[in-house]
Amino acid sequence: MKDTIKKIAVLTSGGDAPGMNAAIRAVVRACTYYRVECVGVYRGYQGLIEGDFEPMSARLVSNIINKGGTILKSARSLEFRTEEGRAKAYKHLKEHGIGALILIGGDGTFTGGLKFIQEYNFPIVGIPGTIDNDIYGTDNTIGYDTALNTVVEVIDKIRDTASSHNRLFFVEVMGRDAGFIALNSGIGAGAEEILIPEKNLGLDRLVESLQKSKDKGKTSSIVVVSEGDKIGKNVFELADYINEHFPHYETRVSVLGHMQRGGSPSCYDRVLASRLGVAAVDTLLDGVSGVMVGITHNKVTTVGLNKAIKMNNDIDQELLKVAEIISV
């Protein structure tokens, strides 16, 4: 494979995550190191369909390791879900002499890549880039650590206001299907309660918890809510329900939204992205395809894209216990 792959393309797809640029930089420089051409694909799979390519050099990716977002842009592509769209993508790859593809993204990105492999037997390796940390086969995804730091910093500021005005704040964080951000940021910020999709505490349990806090003399509280939590239809209805039971609180809702995706990546995410970018190129040049590179117990590992897509990361039960104990 080292003798046959002369050109590798890299793209970012799905939601952006801090550290994607660091991963792009690592891929490009690893290609330069191994004397392999590297091509950047703009706007994810849509750019692949349209042939929106640009040759990438080591100098072109200077000074991007500290930047959030992705210089290659990202876009959803309904057309790539069709056979016709994937055929156009394959045609452009062959016309440009590209022998392999590196995907930086989440499960949706990997699903498209796996389909492409099945149809065209095209060499592909995935790099997990998503703030949700919900990809199987890696302890951490690129962007997750930065998102946690962002959320904790914001909650610290919200707590200042909550304490000053005897307010109960519901802080909604990202995590439609996974509560990793809510659980870890909630513990880190000292939240009184944490609501996640994986564990439905129920309204009665939440009311009981807040009542205990009130009885112990707490004049303000922070409840961190994952957007996929199953207790209420949405965080605003949940806040209204609680406000009926605790009228002495001024109840407020803060939805952090896309600010969690932005910002300069943490040192951890820069190092992780650099390691996985180099590992992705190494993996392809070693003749391995259809896998995702990840980090397990601080060692670079690989897992099949099919497993990365179909299997789920489990919430750490020890962390759930810790959250319950230290919120008393």
State both tokens at 80. 């790539």
Backbone CA torsion sign across 114, 115, 120, 121: positive
Q: Where are the alpha helices (DSSP H) in 121-228?
A: 144-165, 180-189, 203-215
CA distance linking residue 14 with residue 134, whole number of Å: 14
Residues contacting residue 77 through CB under 8 Å, at least 6 positions apart: 13, 43, 44, 45, 46, 48, 49, 85, 112
Instruction: Return the residue matching tokens 């409840």.
Output: 223
**Whether the Cβ atoms of residue 6 and residue 259 lie closer than 8 Å to each other:** no
Q: What does DSSP assign to residue 14?
A: S
Distance CA 282, CA 275 (A): 11
C-beta separation of 315 from 198 below 8 A? yes
For 17, 36, 77, 266, the CA distances from 56, given in Å and listed in that order, are 21, 11, 23, 24
Sheet holding 37-41, edge to edge: 53-56, 37-41, 7-12, 100-105, 124-128, 291-296, 299-304
**Catalytic option among 16, 107, 132, 145:** 132
Q: Apex CA 227: angle with CA 221 and CA 229, to 5°?
A: 80
Q: Is 215 a catalytic residue?
A: no
Q: What positions carry a catalytic annotation?
A: 132
